[in-house]
Amino acid sequence: MNVTHLECAACGLEYEARRLLNLCTKCGKPLLVRYDLAQAARTLTKESLGTRRADLWRYREVLPVDSDENIVSLGEGWTPLLHAERLGQQLGIRELYIKDESQNPTQSFKARGMTAAVSMAKELGVKKLAVPSAGNAAGALAAYAARAGIEAFIFMPKDTPRANVIECEQTGAHVTLMDGLITDCGAEVARRKDAEGWFDVSTLKEPYRVEGKKTLGYELAEQLKWELPDVIIYPTGGGTGLIGMWKAFAEMEQMGWIGPKRPRMVTVQASGCAPIVRALEEGKRFADEFPNAATAASGLRVPRAIGDFLILDAIRASGGTAVAVSDDELIKATGVIGAAEGVFCAPEGAACLPALERLLAEGSVTTDDRVVLFNTGSGVKYLECFVT
């Protein structure tokens, strides 16, 4: 296909495509996939999209799999961009949208990353995959691995929402629950992977999940008729979705689909775990580990992210910001969005609403802005959070 090579996002070192790689062997930072975009743009045209499949593989030329038969799909992506008129009216915003990622297979945007990573694993002959997860990535890996006939080894904190644990068990994964956080689960995968023969598909520690996630950016542009919004509000843990969208915008500009204007990228974190918010406030390019991380929005309980500099670079280059919201605010927001729009959000997705309210009050977002909130998953996975 159109992949030319892999490239380290920090030091620029280039690697041959189609090798099984984790991080840059020189500096230990994430690798990104690079494409011959001129060649991709010959067949991937805006017009051609009209007749393509209604999932994220519609952007086939800018996705990494070589052979169609290796695509492992459950119908992921091409989720609705809902015009949130009622919620918008409450806030005085005319153009407010919700990108509803709860409608993916396994009910979260993690399906996008895992369809790409598992397809590439299949193509490169991997037999065993391992992942540390806050919950939704685990559910997605388990499902796609089952569909590919690959074994999945999953490590989650023991207080991960029950639904995530049960879905992994029912889709045939080997599940280990650990005392500790996602970073401890990651350390366990790293410690055992060589002896066990696992390929590690941790967030941004392999190059392909972000390729699946970047289709969020392609879809947003296509659904808004190639005019990006003014503001994107996105709940950030490891940051693949935000980093992926930012990469998609650059690729689309190179293919001549959009101009240089970018949305202001806003990261939302929980006040109990806000390493990116803190690093932005302190003017740092790399975020310190957030001590005693705690939040009910389990996907945001990521005290240290290997892609921290990519998240921070994108926020700064876009003129965006990062906002921390309390657990009380994000749980309450779930009911507000649900009642106004009929979308039962994951608490991570609901966190976008109090963040937007804060930015409106400060004046850094105005009621004339076209704003997109990302609901990254379904509230159905988090029933414990809503039982009083």
Ligand X SMILES: Cc1ncc(COP(=O)(O)O)c(C=O)c1O
Give the shortest CB-292-to-Zn ion separation in angstroms: 31
Of 174 and 304, which has the nearer Cβ to ligand X?
A: 304
Give the shortest CB-284-to-ligand X separation in angstroms: 18
CA–CA dist 216, 194 (Å, integer): 33
Give the shortest CB-370-to-ligand X separation in angstroms: 22
CA–CA dist 112, 210 (Å, integer): 9
| DSSP code for 19 | S
8 binds, among Zn ion, ligand X, none (CB under 5 to 8 A by kind): Zn ion
Place of tokens 């969005």: 337
Which one of 67-75, 133-141, 223-231, 321-329 is the stretch in contact with ligand X (CB under 6 A)? 133-141
Please tell me whether residue 361 adopts helix, strand or coil conformation. helix
Of 41 and 152, which has the nearer Cβ to ligand X?
A: 152
Which one of 11-19, 121-129, 164-172, 271-279 is the stretch in contact with Zn ion (CB under 5 A)? 11-19
Residues of span 332-361 touching ligand X by CB under 6 A: 346, 348
Please tell me whether residue 232 adopts helix, strand or coil conformation. strand
CA–CA dist 339, 350 (Å, integer): 12
Pairing of the two strands 128-132 and 81-83: unpaired
Residue burial 145-182, b: 16+ Cβ < 10 Å; e: rest: bbbbebbbbbbbbebbbebbbebbeebebebbebeebb
76 binds, among Zn ion, ligand X, none (CB under 5 to 8 A by kind): none
Which tokens in the block code for residue 293? 């991380």
Give the shortest CB-184-to-ligand X separation in angstroms: 15
Exactly one of 30, 161, 229, 237 binds ligand X (CB under 6 A); which one? 237
Exactly one of 11, 20, 49, 339 binds Zn ion (CB under 5 A); which one? 11
Q: In this structure, are residues 152 and 222 in contact, taking their beta carbons and an 8 Å threshold? A: no
Report CA-CA distances (Å) from 61 to 43, 74, 189, 213, 316: 8, 19, 32, 15, 29
Give the shortest CB-47-to-ligand X separation in angstroms: 31
Exactly one of 14, 26, 52, 288 binds Zn ion (CB under 5 A); which one? 26
Q: In this structure, are residues 234 and 59 in contact, taking their beta carbons and an 8 Å threshold? A: no
CA–CA dist 109, 241 (Å, integer): 8
235 binds, among ligand X, Zn ion, none (CB under 5 to 8 A by kind): ligand X
| DSSP code for 79 | -
Of 37 and 385, which has the nearer Cβ to ligand X?
A: 385
Cα(first)–Cα(last) distance of the chain, in Å?
Answer: 52
Q: Which helix (H) or strand (E) holds 234?
A: strand 231-235
When asked if residue 88 is in the footprint of ligand X (CB under 6 A), the reply is no
When asked if residue 139 is in the footprint of ligand X (CB under 6 A), the reply is no
106 binds, among Zn ion, ligand X, none (CB under 5 to 8 A by kind): none
When asked if residue 37 is in the footprint of Zn ion (CB under 5 A), the reply is no
Please tell me whether residue 172 adopts helix, strand or coil conformation. coil
Q: In this structure, are residues 32 and 210 in contact, taking their beta carbons and an 8 Å threshold? A: yes
Which one of 3-11, 114-122, 353-361, 380-388 is the stretch in contact with Zn ion (CB under 5 A)? 3-11
When asked if residue 320 is in the footprint of ligand X (CB under 6 A), the reply is no
Number of residues lying near ligand X (CB under 6 A): 18
When asked if residue 76 is in the footprint of ligand X (CB under 6 A), the reply is no
- Sign for the CA dihedral angle at 306, 312, 318, 322 comes to positive
Sites of contact with ligand X (CB under 6 A):
108, 134-137, 203, 235-241, 299, 346, 348, 376-377
Sites of contact with Zn ion (CB under 5 A):
8, 10-11, 13, 24, 26-27, 29
